[in-house]
Amino acid sequence: MIKKVPVSQLCVGMYVHDLGGSFLDHSFWRSRFLIQNERKLRRLQESRLEWVLIDTGRGVDVSSGGSGAVAPVPPAASGSQAAPAVSGAAQSSAKAADAAPPSATPEQQAFDDARDIIDGSREQVRQLFADADLEGKIDLRQIEGLVQDMADSIEGHPDALTSLARIKRADQYLYAHSVAVSALMTALARTLALSDDQVRLAGMAGLLHDIGKVRDPDETPGKLGRPIQPAQELLRKHPQSGAEVLRQDPSVPPEVIDVCLHHHERIDGKGFPDGLEGERISLLARMAAICNYYDEVTSTRPFKKGWDPAFALFKMLKSSGQFDMDILGAFVRTVGRYPLGSIISLTESELGLVVAQNPDAPELPVVKIFYSIRWSHAIPERRVNLADPGCTSRVLPVVAPVDWAQSGLPVPPIV
């Protein structure tokens, strides 16, 4: 049921169906979302909104102890313009329909919310890049809302957004990659205990770091094949082209421009465009180098299969001179030694999909076992927590599970 609720009566777990005001009254870029934590609730309470519509089928209902005015809204009138005025008489109806908890688990809700963010954000980033390129203007207000939503999602469930953001449609790669890097930057900034302001800049820089590719015909929708020459030349120029686009708008923070310009620098000075070394590369740019590389190598594109996330971390940890290893250590803590969605080999000759982390035992994640290496075929799925005291199964050294990959069998869903 759709109900009209004063902002003062909102609580964590409610699902916002529509925001009751103009876009000038709030910083949200989506009108439908779950209030998944106190931080998001505070954003609503600190906005100039007076009421919102909630969907009690997708989130918790108003409390039976609530004394304020709550009005059920007929489906046909659930748009913000058509919603009826708050009515005292409606309170009894609200109480009667009270306490209908959502059927989804908190984990499913977190994944649904992360999916909503990703689906909506890719179109928003596409529009943002087009406006920046054509008009030289960046709508920072829109970015702020998106970046805050990502921070909310990551605070509520650290893995949902970063694991889902890895999955991309080929014709949206540039925008999807920007959203993924932004999510990873936000999560990494939290691990590094950076200030709220730095977290916000990290998310914003992640979104805009590759804006210099907006004129690259191989990165824009419609081109699904292997990049053609002169790809190398375009690749080497995109940091400067991006910085030029961003400098057109004086409201873009200098830290964000710096990340755009220097996210391909290497710690050993062999990167581009300026060959900066060590700490001459800013902290945010060193973070971006890691998040950008990880997302790029784990993404499947029409011309290459993405690396398994755990294998990507393994290779990155073995690399030398490319990354700031302290920040890389923090990145591994952020996404987990075996990131969600990794496929790992277990001592019983089985393959498991990582579906949850154990923060106190990063080497022992929760897995969904789905394939027998010994018999080379799929087996009934079972969920196993490797950290359970009675569990003897262990993770084998990271190797690409070749026979499974060649079988063409699908990977089970995470939730």
Integer-rounded Cα radius of gyration of the chain: 23
CA 203 to chain centre: 10
Q: Is 295 in the site for Fe ion (CB under 5 A)?
A: no
Shortest Å distance, C-beta 234 to Fe ion: 10
Shortest Å distance, C-beta 48 to Fe ion: 38
Q: How many CB atoms lie within 10 A of CB 41?
A: 18
Q: Are 353 and 340 in contact (CB under 8 A)?
A: no
Shortest Å distance, C-beta 328 to Fe ion: 18
Closer to Fe ion by CB, 157 or 264: give it: 264
Q: Which stretch binds Fe ion (CB under 5 A): 63-71, 133-141, 202-210, 293-301?
A: 202-210
Q: Are 366 and 357 in contact (CB under 8 A)?
A: yes
Closer to Fe ion by CB, 113 or 210: give it: 210
Q: Are 365 and 396 in contact (CB under 8 A)?
A: no
**Cα 322 from Cα 293, distance rounded (Å):** 10
Shortest Å distance, C-beta 339 to Fe ion: 21
Residue of this chain nearest to Fe ion (CB atom): 210
Q: Are 242 and 260 in contact (CB under 8 A)?
A: yes
Closer to Fe ion by CB, 226 or 382: give it: 226
Residues within window 25-54 making contact with Fe ion, judged by CB under 5 A: none
Q: Which stretch binds Fe ion (CB under 5 A): 61-69, 129-137, 207-215, 375-383?
A: 207-215
Q: Which stretch binds Fe ion (CB under 5 A): 66-74, 147-155, 177-185, 205-213?
A: 205-213
The full 3-state SS of 6-28, as one line of letters, equals EHHHCCCCCEEEEECCCHHHCCC
Shortest Å distance, C-beta 213 to Fe ion: 7
Q: Is 210 in the site for Fe ion (CB under 5 A)?
A: yes
Nearest Cα neighbor of 69 from 87, 85, 84 is 87
Closer to Fe ion by CB, 112 or 210: give it: 210
Shortest Å distance, C-beta 212 to Fe ion: 7
Closer to Fe ion by CB, 289 or 369: give it: 289
Closer to Fe ion by CB, 227 or 412: give it: 227
Residues in contact with Fe ion, counted by CB under 5 A, come to a total of 1
Q: Are 12 and 37 in contact (CB under 8 A)?
A: yes
CA 404 to chain centre: 28
Shortest Å distance, C-beta 169 to Fe ion: 19
Q: Is 265 in the site for Fe ion (CB under 5 A)?
A: no
Closer to Fe ion by CB, 233 or 360: give it: 233
Closer to Fe ion by CB, 213 or 368: give it: 213
Closer to Fe ion by CB, 260 or 366: give it: 260
Please provide residue 29's backbone torsions phi and psi, each rounded to the nearest 5 degrees: -105, -10
Closer to Fe ion by CB, 17 or 262: give it: 262
Shortest Å distance, C-beta 396 to Fe ion: 34
Burial (CB < 10 A; 0-12, 13-18, 19+), residue 263, is buried
Nearest Cα neighbor of 113 from 62, 77, 85, 155 is 155
Shortest Å distance, C-beta 293 to Fe ion: 9
Residues within window 106-165 making contact with Fe ion, judged by CB under 5 A: none
**Cα 103 from Cα 98, distance rounded (Å):** 15
DSSP string, 122-137: HHHHHHHHHHHHHHS-
Burial (CB < 10 A; 0-12, 13-18, 19+), residue 13, is middle
Shortest Å distance, C-beta 132 to Fe ion: 16
| 111 sits in which H/E element | helix 106-135
Q: Which stretch binds Fe ion (CB under 5 A): 161-169, 203-211, 216-224, 399-407?
A: 203-211
Residues of this chain that interact with Fe ion (CB under 5 A) are 210
